[in-house]
Amino acid sequence: MKHFYENVPRLGNVAVSRHAQAQMIEAGISQEAFDRVLLEPTRPDVPDGADILWRERDGLRLVILINPTPNRGAKLIKCVYPGTESTHCPR
């Protein structure tokens, strides 16, 4: 499972948290589906507060921290889940 992406459209460098990777495995989300959402967005990202974005496509939602702590120079994907699911993403 890939855990770091460089030059992601509209985001720059992006890391994928262990929590998000575990969610993908648990939900049966394929690497290909995840990559499509992250690398080929079809809609604008949705801001949710000062430092969170949602990126959705094909029924999947990525929750992205734009200024994670500690900041290592990359955005952080904190959660991955079906877009219709109401789930809590830990900070």
Question: So what's the pLDDT on residue 26?
Answer: 93
Return the domain boundaries, the chain: 4-82
Question: So what's the pLDDT on residue 74?
Answer: 96
Instruction: Give per-residue pLDDT as tens, 35-87.
Output: 999 999 889 999 998 899 999 999 999 999 999 988 888 999 999 988 655 55
Q: What values do phi and psi take at 59, rounded to 5?
A: 80, 10
- b/e sequence 29-68, b meaning 16+ C-beta within 10 Å: beeebbeebbeebeeebeeeeeebbbbbbeebbbbbbbeb
CATH of domain 4-82: 3.30.2310
